[in-house]
Chain A
Amino acid sequence: AQKVTQAQTEISVVEKEDVTLDCVYETRDTTYYLFWYKQPPSGELVFLIRRNSFDEQNEISGRYSWNFQKSTSSFNFTITASQVVDSAVYFCAFMYSGGGADGLTFGKGTHLIIQP
């Protein structure tokens, strides 16, 4: 079975600092997807990114960037020039892509606090 580890339970930084959230996964599958979700204080889950196991290109979206490295089974998330609105719980998740109805396997989440 797959496993997703987010070792950082809570991170606190001052606004405008860069911050990286770590995600390490374990699987025997060769085809899978990795995800990041944001859960703001209001409680809903907001989809941020999906990455196919065959695509190791890094991705940048505004202040957000993701680094996927199969060699280290990691899918890290960096926020550049953090803002107070980035304060949230962030979840990394895994899904097997074998075509079945598999659900998502989530990490335990990282609570990110951006102090003004």
Chain B
Amino acid sequence: NAGVTQTPKFRVLKTGQSMTLLCAQDMNHEYMYWYRQDPGMGLRLIHYSVGEGTTAKGEVPDGYNVSRLKKQNFLLGLESAAPSQTSVYFCASRKPGDTEAFFGQGTRLTVV
């Protein structure tokens, strides 16, 4: 099984550009999450979704939008990228009632 797949793995953006990160899971999980990892900060929750068509803000949602049009996909959008959004982004998913979260391999985004 593929598990959780993030696309792309690496990306360099110029300030002000927009982009979308894709997270796809093939485990039929209801819950999906986007985290960002910054040096010395650990992982912090950006947004999450409890099911198709629903999203909610996490700890650091500003500057990001998300969509969950299909159960298996969770999209993270940056409308106008800023250097402060340079980070490694991780997607995760899990089943309701289960505590095991499955993580993608991460996307390294650099905004110059």
Query: Once the chains bind, are B35 and A44 in contact (CB under 8 Å)?
Result: no
Given contacts A33-B99, A101-B31, contact A109 B42 (CB under 8 A): yes
Pair A103/B58 contact, Cβ less than 8 Å: yes
Interface size on A, residues (CB 8 A): 22
Count chain B residues whose beta carbon lies closer than 8 angstroms to a beta carbon of A: 26
Q: State the majority secondary structure of interface residues on B.
A: strand
In angstroms, how far is the closest chain A Cβ from the Cβ of B34? 9
Contact with A108, one of B41, B50, B88 (Cβ below 8 angstroms)? B41
Interface string of A5-48 (1 = CB under 8 A from B): 01001000000000000000000000001000000000111010
Bound Cα distance from A95 to B48, whole angstroms: 14
A104 within 8 A of B: yes
CA distance A6 to B50 in the complex (A): 29
B-to-A contact residues, CB < 8 Å: 30-31, 33, 35, 40-45, 48, 50, 56, 58, 88, 90, 92, 96-97, 99-101, 103, 105-106, 108
